[in-house]
Amino acid sequence: MMSPFFIILTLVSLLIHHSHTQPTCASQKFTNRILYDRCIDLPELGSYLHWSLDTVKNTVSIVFIAPPASPNGWISWAINPSGDGMVGSQALIGYKGFNGLMVVDTYNVSSYEDIIRGRLDFDVTDIKGENSDGVMRIFAKVDLPENGQTVVNQVWQVGGSVTEGGVPERHEFQPGNLGSKGSLDLLSGEISGGGDGGSKTKKRNIHGILNAVSWGILFPTGIMIARYLRTFPAADPAWFYIHGSLQVSAYAIGVAGWGTGMKLGSESKGVKYSGHRNIGIALFCLATLQVLAVFLRPKVGHKFRFYWNIYHHGTGYAVIILGILNIFKGLEILSPSSKWKLTYIIIISSLGVIAFVLEAFTWIVVFKRKSVNTSTKPNGTTDARP
Ligand code: HEM
Ligand SMILES: *[C@@H]1O[C@H](CO)[C@@H](O)[C@H](O)[C@H]1NC(C)=O
User: What is the DSSP secondary structure assignment for residue 54, as one 8-state letter?
Assistant: E
**pLDDT over 90 percentage in the chain:** 53
| Peptide bond before residue 168 is cis, with ω within 30 degrees of 0 | no
**Structural domains of the chain sorted by starting position, each given as residue range(s) with its CATH number in brackets:** 4-11+199-371 (1.20.120.1770), 43-192 (2.60.40.1210)
Burial class (CB within 10 angstroms; exposed 0-12, middle 13-18, buried 19+) of 297: middle
**pLDDT over 70 percentage in the chain:** 87
The predicted pLDDT at position 197 comes to 56
The predicted pLDDT at position 272 comes to 67
pLDDT at 292 over 60: yes
Task: Give the binding-site residues of ligand 2, using a 6 Å CB cut-off.
Answer: 108, 110, 119-121
**Better-scored residue on pLDDT, 299 or 117:** 117
Average pLDDT for residues 212-239, to the nearest whole number? 89
pLDDT digits (tens, 9 = 90+) for 39-59: 998 988 989 999 999 999 999
Distance CA 137, CA 141 (A): 14
Kindly state the helix (H) or strand (E) to which residue 48 belongs, with its residue range: strand 48-54
The predicted pLDDT at position 73 comes to 96
The predicted pLDDT at position 383 comes to 47
Beta carbons within 10 angstroms of residue 12's beta carbon: 10
Residue to mutate, 49, 171, 266, ligand 1, most ligand atoms under 8 Å from C-beta:
171
- Bridge partners (DSSP) of residue 104 are 94
The predicted pLDDT at position 231 comes to 81
pLDDT digits (tens, 9 = 90+) for 338-360: 788 899 999 999 999 999 999 99
Instruction: Determine if ligand 1 sits within 6 Å of the CB of residue 115.
Output: yes
Mean pLDDT in the chain? 85
The predicted pLDDT at position 16 comes to 39
> Letter for the amino acid at 52?
S
Q: If you count them, how many residues does the chain have?
A: 386
> Which atom number of ligand 2 is nearest to the Cα of residue 114?
5
Dihedral sign, CA of 253, 259, 261, 267?
A: negative
pLDDT at 386 over 90: no
The predicted pLDDT at position 230 comes to 82
Q: Which of 99, 83, 35 is nearest to 63 (CA)?
A: 35
**Better-scored residue on pLDDT, 116 or 33:** 116
The predicted pLDDT at position 373 comes to 66
Q: Read out DSSP for 257-310? A: HHHHHHHHHHHSTT---HHHHHHHHHHHHHHHHHHHHHHTPPPTT-TTHHHHHH
Phi, psi of 42 (to 5 degrees): -70, 145
The predicted pLDDT at position 53 comes to 95
No. of H helices and E strands in the chain? 8, 12
The predicted pLDDT at position 316 comes to 92
pLDDT digits (tens, 9 = 90+) for 72-108: 999 999 999 998 899 999 999 999 998 889 999 999 9
pLDDT digits (tens, 9 = 90+) for 163-204: 988 889 999 988 889 999 999 999 988 888 766 556 667 788
- Bridge partners (DSSP) of residue 53 are 60
Distance CA 44, CA 42 (A): 6
Instruction: Tell me the CA distances in angstroms from 242 to 156, 210, 216, 263, one per residue in order.
Output: 52, 20, 18, 32
18 is in an annotated binding site: no
Compute, in angstroms, the gap from residue 94 CA to the centroid of ligand 2.
Answer: 20
The predicted pLDDT at position 181 comes to 94
The predicted pLDDT at position 69 comes to 94
Burial class (CB within 10 angstroms; exposed 0-12, middle 13-18, buried 19+) of 195: middle
